[in-house]
Amino acid sequence: MTWVDTGARVQDERRRLRLIWIVSLLSNRIDNPFAYIGFCIGCLLLTALSLGAHTALAATPPRHCPDGNGGLSLPPGFCATVFADHLGHARHLVVARDGTVYVNTWSGDYYSYGHVDVLPEGGFLVALRDTHGSGRADVIQRFGDDSARGSAGGTGIALYDGALYAEVNDRIVRYVLPPGALVPIGKAEVVVSGLPLGGDHPMHPFVIDSKGDLFVDVGSATNACDIDNRMPNTKGHEPCTELETRGGIWRYDARKMGQKFSTAERYATGIRNGEGMDFDSTGRLFVTQHGRDQLLENYPTLFTSTNGHELPAEEVFVLARGGDYGWPRCYFDGLQRRLVLAPEYGGDGGSTIGVCADKRRPAFFFPAHWAPNDLVIYKGAQFPRAYQGGAFVAFHGSWNRAPAPQGGYSVAFQPLSEGRPAGNYIVFADGFAGSYREPGRALARPSGLAVGPDGSLYVSEDVQGKIWRITYHGPQDVELRAAPAAAVAGDQAHTIDIGSLPAPPGATREQILLGSRIFWGEAVGGTCSGCHGSDGKGSTVGPNLTSGEWSWGDGSWQAIAATIDRGVMRPRHSDGAMPPRGGAPLSEADVRAVAAFVWAISHQRPSVGRSSDRP
């Protein structure tokens, strides 16, 4: 039984006893005037007692949150329950007025590097209800197209005017929701189709305002509109024609069916990947941006290990029609708090501003590479007053901070006033990743946010497909306090026994040891573990190196060294291209050492190392 259940039952019992007492007095017709006076006083006392008890219950935080907060670390007074689990790769979600939760799930190569991605049977859309008030969904139903019908699911989802809207592949569709129905009955209608797919950011998150304007993000196909995507010292396309169909926000009419994607509906430009969007109470539309990658790796003469991993900042904009927010020519330097010219377009590492002086600045920003996957403005009444009108941001977590420790994998909160920061942000929820804060080994990566009609906050993640419901049980007048930092493994923690690894023919133990230190970023500024994971088992941006399967070469020590040396400009099975030598200042001897280590972990005995955390 939860704290909320206990409080409700106490209240119900008090109401029952009061009703019995009143009926008994009335049945005696209250002939005695003193009894009548006693009756009136008793009613007042019982009412005061009931109200006082209710206030006390509402102001007293629970002694223990159920089930250990579902593994999360939260500020005092907040509790989390696991609302649902194993839903697939849960992305964005929305909550209806009756408390029904709808979530969109995704699939594809992004989730399947190095392992078989087993998806739940049924459609990619999921409806969930908690009919017992336990904080956990007991009714779960999948609907919509499944993979057998050619669907890969999607990210975006919204409710508007009695209908559910969802992203499916290259289109946004509309399902009519009959009153009281859990899932739609009829077929989906296509609102807009032909949205660009492929490239680095093929998802299409969206929001709908009260007038029916549908704003959809169309992320960039490249890192920085570069001629050779993610390769060292490349130049940017001039002009960047990609901006005609990517890297911005498009606007459509949610009430009109059969619309086609075109350049004419572009609403704002220069936004590399704006996954999180929400309106505040005045109608301002806040949009997050995933900042560009690989400044240090691709331009090592302009950046250093001191600042390279801290650039660029993750921005949040207030969207304006016709606004240009700078990508790809500009990036936001959070250390200098200004937009500066990108190296692909003549930038010198942060001194030159150039055309960036005319671009729109962010309303606020966060540390580099945290990957803001969703944003919601808190308009509920359950949380303390300090949260009213502020922004929760779900951070999917970094890969491009290696060899420095990775960051994100959390939910942050930014207090706001009049659309501007009203204080510093806090980490509101932590602990999603578990022991390993890296993309390949994280137990969960926050991907979606929604506020329920009772003011509860819902958080989705796309590794195991889990949803948490976060509630508050405490006084309203409290200051913002960050969640206690979640415990993680050491910065360079790993569980591979170097001494037991086999050596490739001709390699030495010393080479394997050096290669492991470079791989983990302990020497020469190696970046390998950022993409391939500290265990080598891969991530969403780098393939599994322990499987023994090779896309380039025959898997020999020499072939692996050749691949590391020249890089992978157009990867076959991973989302992130690899610059030559991983973008690190490796010598030929360093390359051979890393190749020896990679060969060794691909030939290790099954008992060596750890079992995979991945599903």
Measured distance CA(598)–CA(232) in Å, rounded: 23
* pLDDT confidence tier of residue 25, bands split at 50, 70 and 90: very low
Q: Compute the distance between CA of residue 549 and CA of residue 326 in angstroms, rounded to an integer.
A: 40
Highest mean pLDDT among 6-20, 35-49, 125-139: 125-139
Q: Taking CA 606 as the corner, what is the angle to CA 604 and CA 611, rounded to the nearest 5 degrees?
A: 110
Q: Which of 323, 302, 320, 324 is nearest to 312 (CA)?
A: 302
Instruction: Give the pLDDT band of residue 489 (cuts 50, 70, 90).
Output: confident
Residues with Cβ within 8 Å of residue 198, at least 6 apart in sequence: 221
Residue 123: pLDDT above 60? yes
The pLDDT tens digits for 40-75 are 334 333 333 333 333 222 333 455 687 789 999 999
Predicted confidence band at 543 (pLDDT cuts at 50, 70, 90)? confident
Cα 560 to Cα 533: distance, rounded to the nearest angstrom: 17
The mean-pLDDT minimum among 160-169, 173-182, 423-432, 576-585 falls in 576-585
Q: pLDDT band at 573, cuts 50/70/90?
A: low
What's the rounded Cα separation, in Å, for the pair 433 and 447? 12
- Residue 406 above 50 pLDDT? yes
Mean pLDDT of 476-500: 83
Could you tell me which residues are beta bridge partners of residue 82? Answer: 468
Q: What is the pLDDT of residue 115?
A: 59
Region at 557 (left for phi over 0; alpha for psi -120 to 50; beta for the rest): alpha
> Residue 270 gets which letter from DSSP?
-
Q: Are 590 and 535 in contact (CB under 8 A)?
A: no
Q: Any idea which of 73-77, 276-280, 434-438, 525-529 has the lowest mean pLDDT?
A: 525-529
Q: What is the mean pLDDT of residues 121-150?
A: 94
Average pLDDT, the chain: 87
SS (H, E, C) 6-40: HHHHHHHHHHHHHHHHHHHHHHCCCCCHHHHHHHH
Over residues 198-209, the pLDDT tens digits come to 899 999 999 999
483 or 27: which leads in pLDDT: 483
pLDDT for 301: 93
Would you state the pLDDT for residue 128?
A: 98
Among the listed residues 411, 386, 521, the one whose alpha carbon sits nearest the alpha carbon of residue 461 = 411
Does the pLDDT at position 113 exceed 70? Answer: no
Phi-psi region of 277 (alpha: psi -120 to 50; beta: other; left: phi over 0): beta
530 pLDDT band (50/70/90 cuts)?
confident
Q: How confident is the model at residue 188 (pLDDT cuts 50, 70, 90)?
A: very high
Cβ-based neighbour number of residue 613 at 10 Å: 18
**pLDDT tens digits, residue range 426-440?**
999 999 999 999 998
| pLDDT-above-90 percentage for the chain | 70
Question: What is the rounded CA–CA span in Å between residue 98 and residue 494?
Answer: 46
CA distance 443 to 487: 13
Q: Which residue has the tokens 């026994």?
A: 497
pLDDT, residue 588, reads 95
Q: What is the pTM of this model?
A: 0.86
Least confident of 322-336, 490-504, 534-548: 490-504
DSSP secondary structure string for all residues of 182-251 = SS--SPPEEEEE-----SS-----EEE-TT-EEEEEE--SSSSSBSSTT-TTPPBPSS-GGGGTSSEEEE
Report the range of poorest mean pLDDT among 32-36, 515-519, 605-609.
Answer: 32-36
pLDDT tens digits, one per residue of 340-366? 999 999 999 999 999 999 999 999 999
Retrieve residue 331's tokens. Answer: 């990036």
DSSP symbol at 164: E
**370-398 pLDDT per residue, tens:** 999 999 999 999 999 999 999 999 999 99
Q: Give me the pLDDT at residue 553, please.
A: 87
Q: Is it the case that residue 555 has pLDDT exceeding 60?
A: yes
The closest of 138, 267, 123 to 209, measured between CA atoms, is 267
Residue 307: its pLDDT value, please?
Answer: 84
- Is 568 a residue whose pLDDT tops 80? yes
Residue 16, φ and ψ in degrees, nearest 5: -65, -45
